[in-house]
Structure 1
């Protein structure tokens, strides 16, 4: 059992497609290796096909078909499947060079590669509205063209008696020419070529994605610890096996399947070093390589002769005493060595890690469960199939449809468990911000909403996201304490504007970076740290039970450094806010009076906090988000509300004001006499 990411992403309850990626990519590799082995034993040539001698193709054809079907299934499972097509393409190129240098026919590579990619292509073409379909098709078309072309170049160079090292030079020249032509005549294909490298080189907010960070760097510091966490001692055993395998490939002929394993492993190592998410891919390669070394150890212990001897001498239970004559000390020692070195350490590490499972915690399950049953039906059926609108047109949502704004990490939970439409999701859709530099527009999205320095600017983001300028893209905002603390930097990183959210402060432990004014003015802090106190159009409607977090530390910093007086306690781990029009309360006070409107808010957990706004100048006008009269049917069934009417106070005057739910939802005006 492989520990680390492979274990965590294959446990029951993990809500993503990673395990499907690993499954299909491994099946592709298995059938491709079988294709190569059979094609070596039953050579496939263009002459056979020209002469309609298809018998030469029959032995390998089933494995080609299975490889193609597996590649097609992989392409349908993950929009980034062009990655494994790229690995296959690199291998076929390397194998072409090896075969040409050894003066072997490369016909089998052209035929098998074209058939495999053609089958996958037909599967992708058969599925309408497939995400990144264009990207997948370009990769598959490229293979169908490239593999026969590589073989034709080999044939022509051999016919003309060119020196064999001209072939790799010809491939390099063809590659450069293809890139130049793509840049000139097909920008989309040129972009595809660039994306294969840039996908692994994240910048800006992309560097904050946990699974997209480099494997051997934690907090910017180089470390080998992730190797042990993800693979245990098997990684070092696999390294030895890799070197042994590489030696065989170099010194022996016709090692196509071993060459593929080497190329596959090198490419996966490269990907994993760039983005640690590929560690669950690499677990397969580590297991195969470790298994290869295990086989060599057992062969050294004469286990390859044990089974024939066992079958010849042990024919019934009565023959079991003869077992002592079949087995010897080398058998026993080699088996013990394999168990102690390959199996036990990895198993122990995996069992330790299995005690903690991933996925949504209890607070999130409670919060999105509450949302599902206590917020209005968005008018979109969870199980319905909807037709994609024609190109250039937008899907026409019902008037009752609304979105839910949260950080992209939680989009799938909101959609699958809460049955609501998230504005951002783990496909990195809806994040907004910038990609390259500060000269770009700060695109509206989750990052720009939560880092907005004021309520008005946050609301402007919601309005900018919605295609209708008169509507906001989200009715509900979901925040958790991680967004307000550890994940907040990621939000700023996606905007590329990270300065001054944290400031250096001298403490007894030296200089420490702590949240500063820019952080506490952000929309995320206003919502989660301050419970939305003073906001005009955002109200807390539900909070989950609290959990131990850094929240109290942030509140302590605010109180100590900025003169605050907020309770230093952990509040709801997940908080759900509703964006409303708000009721307007108007009145007149004495000139130059400071007027305050306030209410004590009580959550469903019994926690209370103060809500207030202040203005001055005689006439006053407040927009408030809370109803004092409770929920109404068909709207949010909130469990967080004022315990009494609002109080408007100035000088010696105090007035109570009641606000109905429809006043809040419709934006009505209440005049205080």
Structure 2
């Protein structure tokens, strides 16, 4: 067969396979589309997706103008947006092109964006793999990236309308552009004095600069790739100097690249004050100018030290670097503090930030669970990169080595970078597989060759006849067994990587078909509550679809905030069109007026102070705030004490298998007096410790476990429980004990009396109760509750006052309160309430026969009503 014809046919096959992989990647990401959109309501995956959709709505309503300030979140200041505009703008364009006219239609069109970007990763990864190895490496990498699981796949599925996949796509696109630039730039000699030689690296640098800007306009965290380029540049200059090679090509590429980035950012506009590299600030401009200056400094230093021993160059760099850092600390401490702050912002961790899921550290179990056998292939890829860098001195392999190592380090520190790492895992795995198959196939395809016998001439002596003698036939070595074995092993690992990734990703797809977004029962409860809020609470007076400028903005008098945990802030904005006091940007959470301080305080006066400071009118709680994520609120409120004042960990015998124990939590009286517990567990009512959980347990020394193991839990009258504890401990059994505790399975049973709240009334509760029926005797505590902060009506009197109420779900409860200083301050009206949580009769002062009617205006204006 003609080799040229075969090559063309093979090229078509490769193109076809890449196209097939791309379509497969798109198809698998669109599988949950029908289930996610079945309700006919906006349904998105993840918290941040809801704010991205808000941005899409604003972009569509305002001719693709981007809002850098939003008064519909973080009341009472509004929030400055630090996300870039590229991702939501692309999504908004899709919505406009689709002809969408309703929020639901826009959400469907916009939700295609992550799936399309996930599919676009296939050709990008292929071209990088091909550049690093050959078409085989590219195809392997392309095949791997179709199904690679974990955060990357999750964030590229239909409905996950978030910029994460755009970060991965455009940063990988920049890596491709830079790889092409540094590899092509070195193919010809570049002389800074000859303009003709500068054109190619300058053009390639400009293309890389544009690619960098695209990534930057997705998120400011693109600065991480400027750091990668900086480290690569430093090492490449040292290597080139050691090899007596000038790095003029790299000088031109970096200069043009970051000149384009600087000019592009300035034309785009600096949107934020200060020098934070996590914002579109002057810090970026200074960083790019420093990279340019640093590249020139490395170039000139190489010129100066050219005739000196080679070790002088790296030593000079180290010396200058140390002196520069020390000089900055002494001469410009503020600049050094900014530098250190930005560095720690990227790679550091704090107790508060670690409560954020994507900011937690990675673990070996999590790494294997995500990438599995791909990690083995990735290790092989690192080895290939090292070989190509050291032995063959290929600059693009050095860059990918640094890129992959830094992203791996970043992921180890913060799991959010896992979706970046997917590109590196698939590329290095593809490079490893491609190289092994390339070497193994060459050995396998080489046929055994026979060497023709040579005639050996002999000269027996003068006058004698010459004779010839055949040499024995020689055979070349056959296929290399080691090469074949390597192909088999790598082939098995590659198949295992693809299969396990596909299984993991398809499991996520199937989950989203059943429970994706608002299809999850818990989230449906929130949707129910927020639909109610949007319809039954006063309009805050801010136009949801209007773009406002931050400078001089003032909220209208009728505006107010909604207090909840930050996880739910974007839902409150986008679904209810109300203004949260805290949001998933982690703003409005910390500090003395933050949501954490409000929910964990045990002092209602302090809670009222926060309400007034934050302009809050409504509070939304859910059972997760009350239990599973309470630790996050406690940590944000006090990063030192964290959970210590409220909970401690113990073990309990597993009811399904009494021979095993499972971890659980016990609660202190301080927990039951927190605002979140008093609201969500007790509806703001006074609760006596009538029944308490009496427990018996094994001491840690008996079981070998680090905490006590509870063997029995029996709710009983507090007096009886105290007697049993005293009796048990009077005759102690070795290694055993008894106590009264607060149990996470009975959050309605405090261990001490809990006082009533005077200024908070239940306005709505969702219909479902996840906790109800989970354990024997578990009360009917609804998933989501909405409370209103009110002045409260004042009633003169002594003793205990109570009123019976029925909620919008038909649940009955009694609100009780003890008098203070001869007065009651009550939050519920007995007539005129605008909500479906209503009193079924008048207030009554227990034991006196006195009843009191409380009109709505008395509650809302703090009026005195007579008893």
TM range (shorter): 0.7 to 0.9
Matches within 5 A, 1:582-597: 582=792, 584-588=793-797, 594=799, 596-597=800-801
Change (3 A) 1:173 1:601: farther
Contact 1:648–1:657 (Cα < 8 Å) also in 2: no
Separation of aligned partners in 1, 2:380 and 2:651: 50
Q: Give 2:760's aligned residue.
A: 538
Q: TM-score, normalization: structure 1?
A: 0.81
Contact 2:540–2:558 (Cα < 8 Å) also in 1: yes
Separation of aligned partners in 2, 1:15 and 1:342: 27
2:371 aligned to 231, 245, 256, which one?
231
Q: TM-score, normalization: structure 2?
A: 0.63
Contact 1:75–1:136 (Cα < 8 Å) also in 2: no
Q: Match of 1:356, SS? A: helix
Q: Match of 1:47, SS? A: coil
**Are positions 1:382 and 2:544 aligned together?**
yes
Change (3 A) 1:174 1:66: same
Q: Give 2:504's aligned residue.
A: 349
Contact 1:628–1:659 (Cα < 8 Å) also in 2: yes
Separation of aligned partners in 2, 1:236 and 1:452: 49
Change (3 A) 1:305 1:616: closer
2:286 aligned to 138, 142, 161, which one?
138
Separation of aligned partners in 2, 1:304 and 1:288: 24
Separation of aligned partners in 1, 2:170 and 2:645: 46
Matches within 5 A, 1:391-410: 395-410=553-568
Q: Give 2:577's aligned residue.
A: 419
Matches within 5 A, 1:441-480: 443-464=592-613, 466=614, 472=615, 474-480=616-622
Contact 2:192–2:198 (Cα < 8 Å) also in 1: no
Q: Give 2:12's aligned residue.
A: none
Separation of aligned partners in 1, 2:784 and 2:561: 17
Q: Give 2:63's aligned residue.
A: none
Q: Give 1:501's aligned residue.
A: 646
Q: Give 2:778's aligned residue.
A: 568
Q: Give 1:613's aligned residue.
A: 817
Deviation at 1:488, TM superposition (A): 0.8
Single out whichever of 240-249 and 36-45 deviates more from structure 2: 36-45
Separation of aligned partners in 2, 1:488 and 1:622: 31
Separation of aligned partners in 2, 1:586 and 1:256: 81
Single out whichever of 191-200 and 515-524 deviates more from structure 2: 191-200
Single out whichever of 493-502 and 1-10 deviates more from structure 2: 493-502
Separation of aligned partners in 2, 1:66 and 1:37: 14
2:791 aligned to 564, 567, 581, which one?
581
Separation of aligned partners in 1, 2:327 and 2:842: 70
Q: Give 1:643's aligned residue.
A: 839
Deviation at 1:14, TM superposition (A): 2.4
Matches within 5 A, 1:208-287: 208-216=355-363, 224-253=364-393, 255-287=394-426
Contact 2:408–2:421 (Cα < 8 Å) also in 1: yes
Separation of aligned partners in 2, 1:352 and 1:510: 27
Q: Match of 1:422, SS? A: coil
Change (3 A) 1:165 1:177: same
Separation of aligned partners in 2, 1:380 and 1:162: 69
Change (3 A) 1:359 1:82: farther
Contact 2:772–2:778 (Cα < 8 Å) also in 1: no
Deviation at 1:302, TM superposition (A): 4.0
Change (3 A) 1:411 1:138: farther
Structure 2, unaligned runs of 5 or more: 1-146, 273-278, 446-483, 654-660, 686-755
Deviation at 1:568, TM superposition (A): 2.6
Q: Give 1:105's aligned residue.
A: 246
Separation of aligned partners in 1, 2:795 and 2:221: 56
Contact 2:759–2:791 (Cα < 8 Å) also in 1: yes
Separation of aligned partners in 2, 1:337 and 1:169: 46
Separation of aligned partners in 2, 1:335 and 1:229: 20
Contact 2:829–2:839 (Cα < 8 Å) also in 1: no
1:623 aligned to 825, 848, 855, which one?
825
Deviation at 1:401, TM superposition (A): 1.9
Q: Give 1:667's aligned residue.
A: 862
User: Which digits, 9 at most, give the CA deviation of each residue in 1:44-64, with x for residues without a partner?
Assistant: 33222xxxx1x3233344432
Q: Give 1:432's aligned residue.
A: 590
Contact 2:270–2:280 (Cα < 8 Å) also in 1: no
Change (3 A) 1:239 1:506: closer
Contact 2:374–2:494 (Cα < 8 Å) also in 1: no
Matches within 5 A, 1:193-212: 193-199=339-345, 200-212=347-359
Contact 2:830–2:838 (Cα < 8 Å) also in 1: yes
Contact 1:7–1:354 (Cα < 8 Å) also in 2: no
Contact 2:433–2:490 (Cα < 8 Å) also in 1: no
**Are positions 1:598 and 2:802 aligned together?**
yes
Matches within 5 A, 1:62-211: 62-125=203-266, 126-130=268-272, 131-158=279-306, 161-199=307-345, 200-211=347-358
Contact 2:593–2:610 (Cα < 8 Å) also in 1: yes
Give the number of equivalent residue pairs. 588
Change (3 A) 1:345 1:652: closer
User: Which digits, 9 at most, give the CA deviation of each residue in 1:474-509, with x for residues without a partner?
Assistant: 222222211111111111112223222114779776
**Are positions 1:488 and 2:630 aligned together?**
yes
Separation of aligned partners in 2, 1:665 and 1:274: 50
Q: Match of 2:631, SS? A: helix
Structure 1, unaligned runs of 5 or more: 217-223, 307-328, 434-442, 467-471, 557-566, 633-637
Change (3 A) 1:135 1:163: same
Contact 2:202–2:252 (Cα < 8 Å) also in 1: no
Separation of aligned partners in 2, 1:552 and 1:454: 31
Q: Quick one: higher RCO (CA 8 Å, sep 6+), 1 or 2?
A: 2
Q: Match of 1:421, SS? A: coil
Deviation at 1:511, TM superposition (A): 9.9
Deviation at 1:645, TM superposition (A): 3.4
Deviation at 1:210, TM superposition (A): 1.8
Contact 2:177–2:208 (Cα < 8 Å) also in 1: yes
Q: Match of 2:322, SS? A: helix
**Are positions 1:527 and 2:691 aligned together?**
no
Deviation at 1:186, TM superposition (A): 4.0
Contact 2:801–2:846 (Cα < 8 Å) also in 1: no
Q: Match of 1:568, SS? A: coil
Single out whichever of 189-198 and 402-411 deviates more from structure 2: 189-198
Separation of aligned partners in 1, 2:214 and 2:379: 31
Q: Give 2:84's aligned residue.
A: none
Separation of aligned partners in 2, 1:145 and 1:646: 78
Separation of aligned partners in 2, 1:104 and 1:547: 71
Deviation at 1:597, TM superposition (A): 2.2
Contact 2:804–2:813 (Cα < 8 Å) also in 1: yes
Single out whichever of 504-513 and 117-126 deviates more from structure 2: 504-513
Separation of aligned partners in 1, 2:423 and 2:199: 30
User: Which digits, 9 at most, give the CA deviation of each residue in 1:73-119, with x for residues without a partner?
Assistant: 32232233322222221222122222122121122222211221222
